[in-house]
Amino acid sequence: MVRVTVPATSANMGSGYDSIGIALELYNVIDLAENDHIDISDKNGQYVPQDESNLIYQCAKRVYDECGKPLSGLTIVEDCAIPQTRGLGSSSACTVAGIMGANMLLGEPLDRNAVIDLAATIEGHPDNSTPAILGGFCVALLENGHVHHVRVPVHGAIDFVVFIPDFQLSTEKARAALPKTIDHHDAVYNLARAALLAGSLTTGKLENLDVATGDCLHQPYRFGLIENGEDIVREAKKLGALGAFISGAGPSIVAIVYKGDRDYITRAQELCEKLYPHWKAVQLRCDE
């Protein structure tokens, strides 16, 4: 039996559409063992697909196939804290768990970069799976099946507060809402902000974070799919966040806050209780 622990991730961070992501201290813990049939269960009684349509199983099988090893079945036991379909990398965590688990069962035939490449290729974008594997804040670019990546140290003065709604939004639907082409001005708008974001997070130039997390490539098209999403971003900033944006494809919203602002989480929770009962606020550290 092998155990894989995979963190939640928040992709895009506003300006870094499909290229920037951060790992957060919230985990799925998955146990895998070879078996002569498929036996999939969830420790907390949550619904999980119990046949070959299970994403963890499919990704594990892909590793066995690519390594030319037969697989007749797996025992998979899931213990998942990452809420599903909320923009916090739950499907990426399954993809990574399947690949890493199978790789461990096979004696690590894939090196770290091959794991990163395969996970991003299966996902179609690298900004959840790369920080899920490496931890921390990552910049990643997927091209021709290969991820060019860097893990950038995050300045120690920040924390994250995640506003999670009680409704779901599929990544497929949130990606389908985006235009096929964009204006040159919009490309430059995000390019400058994504570069500024990486530099500012590293150096601790935190006063840049509000402008650096600005975005016109995906959020304006997605807010219409997230009831109260724009309100939460606005209110999160009013409460003192350094920046706030849609987490991944949504619907969750992430606020970057000063670590020293210990009351932020209380203010955020009061905001949800009073005005946005379909949302809850949770404080999470960056998974280093």
- Is residue 10 close enough to count as binding ligand HSE by CB under 6 A? no
Positions 99 through 118 that interact with ligand HSE (CB under 6 A): none
Three-state SS at 118: helix
Cβ proximity to ligand HSE, 71 vs 247, nearer residue: 247
Cβ proximity to ligand HSE, 151 vs 173, nearer residue: 173
Q: Rounded to whole angstroms, what are the CA distances from 59 to 73, 124, 167, 196, 215? A: 13, 14, 27, 35, 32
Name the minimum Å distance from CB 256 to ligand HSE: 18
Cis bond upstream, residue 251 (ω within 30): yes
- By CB under 6 A, the count of residues binding ligand HSE is 13
Name the minimum Å distance from CB 8 to ligand HSE: 11
Residue 221 main-chain phi, psi, to 5 deg: -85, -15
- Is residue 248 close enough to count as binding ligand HSE by CB under 6 A? yes
Between CA 82 and CA 28 the distance in angstroms is 6
Between CA 12 and CA 15 the distance in angstroms is 6
Q: Rounded to whole angstroms, what are the CA distances from 44 to 29, 80, 270? A: 12, 8, 29
Which residue of 132, 249, 253, 281 would you call a contact of ligand HSE, by CB under 6 A? 249
Cβ proximity to ligand HSE, 214 vs 248, nearer residue: 248
- Is residue 175 close enough to count as binding ligand HSE by CB under 6 A? yes
> CA triplet 202, 239, 287: central angle to 5 degrees?
35
Token pair 């070959």 is at which residue? Answer: 52
Q: Which residue is nearest to ligand HSE (CB)?
A: 248
Strands 243-246 and 146-152, by their bridges, are: unpaired
Q: Which are the contacts of 246, defined by CB distance < 8 A and separation ≥ 6? A: 12, 14, 87, 218, 219, 222, 223, 226, 229, 233, 252, 253, 254
Cβ proximity to ligand HSE, 132 vs 286, nearer residue: 132
Binding mask 116-145 for ligand HSE (x = CB under 6 A): ---------x-xx-----------------
Cβ proximity to ligand HSE, 48 vs 169, nearer residue: 169
Positions 190 through 229 that interact with ligand HSE (CB under 6 A): 218
Token pair 């670019």 is at which residue? Answer: 141
Choose the binding region for ligand HSE from 55-63, 104-112, 169-177, 180-188 (rule: CB under 6 A). Answer: 169-177
Which residue of 4, 11, 242, 244 would you call a contact of ligand HSE, by CB under 6 A? 11
- Is residue 90 close enough to count as binding ligand HSE by CB under 6 A? no
- Helix (H) or strand (E) segment spanning residue 7: strand 2-11
Cβ proximity to ligand HSE, 221 vs 258, nearer residue: 221
Name the minimum Å distance from CB 164 to ligand HSE: 14
Q: Which residues bind ligand HSE (CB under 6 A)?
A: 11-12, 17-18, 125, 127-128, 171, 174-175, 218, 248-249
